[in-house]
Each structure stands twice: as C-alpha cells, then as structure tokens.
Amino acid sequence: MNNTTIYIILILLFPLAGFLINAFLNKNLPGKISGIIGSIAVFVPLILSLIIFINLKKNIPAQTIYLSQWIITGQINIPFEFLIDPLSVLMMLVVTGVGTVIHIYSIGYMHSDNRIHTFFSWMNLFIFFMLILITGANYLIMFIGWEGVGLCSYLLIGFWFKNNEFNYAARKAFIMNRIGDLGFLIALFLMIINFETLSFNNIFTAHHILSQDTKTITIITLLLLVGAVGKSAQIPLYTWLPDAMAGPTPVSALIHAATMVAAGVYMIVRSNLLFRFAPLTMDLIIIIGITTALLSATIALYQEDIKKVLAYSTISQLGYMFLALGLGAYSSAMFHLTTHAFFKALLFLAAGSIIHALNGEQNLRMMGGLAGKLPVTFITFLIAALAISGIPPFSGFFSKDQILLNTFNCCPSLWIFAVLGSILTCIYIFRVFYLAFYGEYRGNSPDNHDDEDIIKPDKDISALHESPLIMTIPLIILAVLSLAGGFINLPQIFGGNNYLDNYLAIESAETGIDDTTEYFLISTTVIVVLIMIIIVWFRYTSKPAQGPKVITEMNFIEKMVYNKFYVDELYRFLFEKPYDFLSEKLLPTIEKGTIDKTVNSAGTLSLTLGSLARKIQNGNISFYILLMTLAAIAFLAINVFIL
C-alpha cells in the first residue's frame, strides 16, 4: 500500500466519519462543536489533496488505486478502484477547498438552528459522495457518488421540511435528476455490453470499438449527456435548480452552485475520449449550452428573489461550460468550472450574509441601501459580481474569455450570442448588486408588503449589522480566490503560460487566433460589458427607493420572462397532468382488477394446496409406512421399467 492509497482512503474516510459522528452522537454535542467536527472532516481531505497535488507533479501523471474486488460475474470485472490524475486532483481541490470554506461559514449561518447536527452530517455525507464521484476509476464507482450526491441534495433541499413547498422542491429535484440518472444508467449498461468493462482506462483505450462503432458511441454519449443535463441543470431538465434554492443558503452555495451541479461537466470531461468519437453529440452539447446560457440569463433579469437570480445565473454559467465542452475545449470548461466555483460560492454566501442580516428576507424589494451596513458583504459581493461579469483581472474574465475565444474560433456568429450572454450576465448581476446595496432601504416601507401573505416584522435600517467573523472570513477567502483564481491559467497574451491547460494535459481544441484579433475581441467584450454596468447603474440608482418593476407595470414580453417563460406550467401540462390522468384510470382496472387479483389468487392457491399437503400428515404410523412403501415401489418401478 503506497502513500497515495493511504491518502485516498483517508480523504474518503474523514467526511464519512464526520457524517457518522454528527449523525449518531448528535445528542451529546453542542452545535458549534458539531460544526467544527464537520469542518475538520472536510479540511483534512483538503490538506491531503494538496499533498497529492504536490506529489503528482513530481511523479507519474496518473495512477489507478486498486482497493479490492467488487463485482465479478462472467466476463465483467468491476473492482473498487480510484483514479488519481490531474483532473480528479483539480476537482478534489475545488470540492474540499470550497467545501471547507462553506462548512466554516455554516457554523455561523446555522448557529440558531436546532437541527444543526443533522445539517452537518448531511453536508459531510455530501462531500463523501462527491469525492467518490470524482475519484472513482470506473463508471460504476462514479455512479455511486452520482446517486449519493443526488440523495444528499434531496435531503438538504428539504432540510426545513416543515414547509411543504420546500418538500415539493426537494421531490422535484430528485425526480428531475432521476430522469438524468436513468440515461446515465442505460449508458452504463450499454458500455458493459459493448466494452465488457466500466473502467476508464479500459474503455478509453478500446480503439477498435471507439473508432469503428460510431453509432454505438453516439448512443452511449447521448445517454451520458442526458445524465449530465439532469445533474447540471441544462435545458430541458433545468427547472429543478431554481426551486432547489429552498435549502439553506450554504447548501445552495456548495451543492447547487459550486460542486454537484458541476458533476455533469466533470463527467463529460472525464469521458472526453468517448465524446471525441461522437461529433453529433458534441453539436448537441453546443446547442444545449448556448440556449441554456441565454435563456436562463434572460429569466434572471426579472427575478425578485435574490437566490433565484443566482440560481438562474448558475444555470447560465453551466451553459457556458457546456458550450466549451461541445467545442472540445475541455480544459477551458474545467477552468471556468473552477473559477465559477469560487465566485458563485461567494455570491451565494454574500447573499446568505444579507439574508442572515435581514432575518431570512430574500426578496430584492425588501433590500436596498445595505452598502454602508454590511461593508464586508458589499465589497466581496462586488468582487464576485465583477468576476462573473468578466472584468479583468478578476478570475471570471480569464475563464470566460477562453470560452469566448474558442467560440469565435469555431463560428463567429455563435460568438455574438455568447457575448450577448455575457452582457446579460452583467446586467442581471449588477441589477441585484444595485438593488441590494444602493438606493434606500425598502424593508420598512409599507407599500411593499401588499402582496406578502405573512408580513415580516419591519426591521429598522439602524438595527442591521454585519455578519460575525466566522461568516465574513470565508467571504474574504473566497473573494481573494475570485480575484486571483484566474491566474492559474493565465494565457500567453498576458504573459502567462496556460498552467492549468498544461497541467490537465487533456487534448483540447486549439484556438488558431492571432494576437491582434484576440486583443480586439477581448477589448470589445470588456468595453461593452463596462458600458452596460454604467447603464444599469443609472437605471437602478437614478431615482430614489426604486425596487424591481411590479408585475402590473410590465408589458407582455416582460411578463413572459417574469414567469420564466411558463416552462414549469408547460411541463405540468405535458407530463404531470397526463400522468395523473393515467394513474387515476389504471388504478381500478390494471392494479386492483388484474395485478392484485393474480397475486392474491396465487396466494390462495398455495394455501389450498398447503392444507391438502397437511392432511397427509395424519399421525397414523400405518398410513405413513404404507405411503413410504408405495413410494419405494414406485421408485423401483421407475428403476425397472424406465431406466
């Protein structure tokens, strides 16, 4: 057993131990201690991942760690194995790094909740499954993690289960994900049939199948894509993610922004050697990516709930990653995944800080003028907003710029749409920024309450205060990462050496764009975005105390967007209604009339036969001996006459 094996076991064991301790010893622990245990359970894996990262540079580029046999039937051999390569190490660093920060933040955010132990146990369990997903060396291990994170996501979305709407949101997330999981699962079966293995190493080196059987590879990749679309909330399976904001804000930051939703992207990058052979799938990914990016960015423009805006923004950014994947720019996708994990986690945590200060208020109409009251939140939110808008030198600029360049390289018309998307991005994020931090505080103006069912106690602006250090320090850490994270892959034109691309060493699409064009493209985008920020500034801060537009003032198109293009309603009409109808019709006929009757009569038949068999046993020895002799004679007769 070498060092890496021990590290990987420890990396997996710590979150699991954290889960078990918090789940079973919870009665004896004060909330703070359980939070500290939960954070340590993620922090230690972070240190170990760093050690692996340092070791990996020196040694062989990738190693498969074989732990034990698992499933062996016929030709198929699926061991318990883990893969340590640059890709998985990068993901491990992102998950444990952002995870640690969010766990620490949660100690402050959840301190008054009396189920804080449960919260931390599930968070640890999530990290455990996420690490399994990342480090698995075959698709089945990945699938364990895949299902596990889905479960944790379900549990944590419905964490405040007393609210029925939250439970509904949890169920919705779970069911939507099941559709994706089904695709993934069928892909696994097809791989077992065609490759007779699920190990990455064996599948990606089976060139004779990969290069010849394009049809099969296309079907497999399409099914994998269904899985990725479900998990990463892309069109058409994206509607669960906005509802998933029902969970506590740290959950939204960790699971529904930084890590789990990126699992689909990770899976496709991991399988890039398969997707290379399926150009059709790649084109589909481009279409899905760009459409999702634009559609959800548009919806984000009109949302009133601060977390919903961020949710749609996440979907939109994931759309960018998919766009990169479809273009074959795998390392750009991973780069954006990393920087997005930083700045989107930061946006969520900053939003959480606001919500915390406002006693659970999430509606933008109730905010405004918070800049002076929450200075740390204000500055860190600004950094994140600049990062997501792609302003240099913030991290989002470099990663998004790479994707845009790749897009331009492929087809300039697509580039226009991608730039349009980044303009929308800056509009919706600065809209939130100005609405929350500028203008006047609207939380105590009575005319904003008219459509609220429960009127929250008005909070005086003077009573608002910044969150405690345990919450602001994580914000600062993430702000530094959002600011500087882009330098891990500084492109050549800025004097860098594309460190991340070289580190990951995934064969990605090359951009053959010369420096002049590149300068021109970059400056165009940045200038347009900066202009938009200023326009938005005037729109939302010119008049005092202006909140978001009220629905009665909207025109038709605005109403469409405000209602999220009625996609949820459409799905309800297309799927839920017919399903309900069918189940109502089938219950009396098929279920009760046919299945139940068949099953019950099988039982009755057995019981009747049973009582017959029982009658033979009448306690009379002569009868027994008679039967035994008859049986013996019968057997001898068979012996004589038949055999």
List residues near another protein by CB under 8 A.
603, 606-607, 609-614, 616-617, 619, 621, 624-625, 627-628, 631-632, 635-636, 638-640, 642-643
Find the shortest distance in angstroms from Cβ 76 to another protein. 16
Complex with another protein: residue 587 or 609, whichever CB lies closer: 609
Q: Rank residues 527 and 625 by Cβ distance to another protein and give the closer one.
A: 625
Q: Is 73 left (phi over 0), alpha (psi -120 to 50) or beta?
A: beta
Tally of CB atoms within 10 A around 584: 9
Cβ-based nearer residue to another protein, 1 or 643 = 643
Q: Enumerate the H helices of 254-374 as residue ranges.
A: 263-270, 272-275, 279-300, 306-326, 330-357
To which residue do tokens 């203008």 refer?
Answer: 439
Phi, psi of 271 (to 5 degrees): -95, 20
Taking the complex as a whole, the smallest distance from the CB of residue 611 to another protein amounts, in Å, to 5
Cβ at position 68, least distance to another protein in Å? 12
Find the distance separating the first CA and the last CA of the chain, reported in whole Å.
Answer: 60
Which is nearer to another protein, 545 or 632 (by Cβ)?
632
Q: Which is nearer to another protein, 73 or 164 (CB)?
A: 73
Q: Taking the complex as a whole, how short is the minimal distance between the CB of residue 227 and another protein, in angstroms?
A: 28
- The sign of the dihedral angle between the CA atoms of 196, 199, 201, 203 is positive
Tokens at 300, concatenated: 């984000």
Nearest-approach distance from CB 22 to another protein, in angstroms: 25
Nearest distance in Å: CB 279, another protein: 44
In the complex with another protein, which residue's Cβ is closer, 551 or 607?
607
Closest to another protein by CB, 463 vs 630, is 630
CB of 608 vs another protein, minimal distance in Å? 9
Please enumerate in sequence order all residues whose Cβ is within 8 A of that of 609, keeping only pairs 6 or more positions apart, or say none. none
CA distance 289 to 246: 25
The SS3 of residue 111 is: coil
Minimum gap (Å) between residue 18 Cβ and another protein? 25
Instruction: Compute the least distance from the CB of residue 25 to another protein, in Å.
Output: 21
Alpha carbon distances (Å) from 560 to 295, 302, 549, 563 = 12, 10, 14, 5
DSSP state of 394: S
Least Cβ distance, residue 624 to another protein (angstroms): 4
Nearer to another protein, 2 or 639 (CB): 639
Q: Which two tokens stand for residue 387?
A: 């990062």
Token reading at 570: 């459409």
- For residue 504, how many C-alpha atoms fall within 13 Å in the half-sphere facing its CB? 24
Q: Give least dist CB 629 to another protein, A.
A: 9
User: Cβ of 468: how many Cβ atoms within 10 Å?
Assistant: 14
CB 402 within 8 A of CB 335: yes
Question: For residue 264, with 0-12 CB atoms within 10 Å meaning exposed, 13-18 middle and 19 or more buried, which class applies?
Answer: buried
Nearer to another protein, 552 or 639 (CB): 639
Q: Retrieve residue 76's tokens.
A: 């198929």
Q: Provide the 10 A C-beta neighbour count for residue 470.
A: 16
Nearest CB to another protein, comparing residues 552 and 620: 620
Query: 289: Cβ–Cβ under 8 A, 6 or more apart, which residues?
Result: 234, 319, 320, 321, 322, 323, 324, 325, 326
Quick one: 454 or 616, whose CB is closer to another protein? 616
Q: Report the alpha-carbon angle 449-451-456, nearest 5.
A: 40
